[in-house]
Amino acid sequence: METKFSNKLSDIRLHYKIWMSDHLETGIMGDGKWQMLKLIDEKGSMKAACDELGYTYRRTWGNLKKIEKFFGFPLLEKQRGGSDGGHTVLTEEGKRLVRAFDAFHSTVDSHIQKGFEKFIQDLN
């Protein structure tokens, strides 16, 4: 059955962001910080991760420090200098946070996709 919506439904794209906050609504963890932590882990460099995502180093450092302050432990281990230059890696807790957010995001993505498909179906 064709509806007035039918000719535009294939042009609709779903976009959303996930973030978590504390009881004062201060952001703790979200898609941007999650992607940053994943890239730091992958590249071994906060600067390289910032460059790739187009984030400033200073703001990123501040955001990651807020997460560390909230949880009460470090997410990053920085090593300066040396013959190969410095590098940054995630602590075990940082890796655990990324894995947990990966799993959470996967679950949420699945539910949101099903809801979006139902939305399109209801309009069709």
Supply the CATH number for residue 107's domain. 1.10.10.10
The DSSP bridge partners found for residue 21 are 27
pLDDT of residue 82: 58
Establish if 80 belongs to a structural domain: yes
Residue with token string 């940054």: 88
Note the pTM of the prediction, 2 decimals: 0.85
- Angstrom distance (rounded) from CA 63 to CA 58: 9
Establish if 3 belongs to a structural domain: no
- Angstrom distance (rounded) from CA 111 to CA 45: 33
Dihedral sign, CA of 111, 114, 120, 124? negative
* Tally of domains in the chain: 1
Listed residue (69, 75, 105) closest to 90, CA to CA: 75
Per the document, the length of the chain is 124
Listed residue (1, 13, 25, 29) closest to 104, CA to CA: 29
Domain, as residue range, for 107: 14-123
Establish if 1 belongs to a structural domain: no
Contact of 47 with 57, CB cutoff 8 Å = yes
pLDDT of residue 3: 86
Summarize pLDDT for 62-108 with one digit per residue, the tens.
Answer: 999 999 999 999 999 987 765 566 789 999 999 999 999 999 999 99
For 81, left (φ over 0), alpha (ψ -120 to 50), or beta? left
Establish if 81 belongs to a structural domain: yes
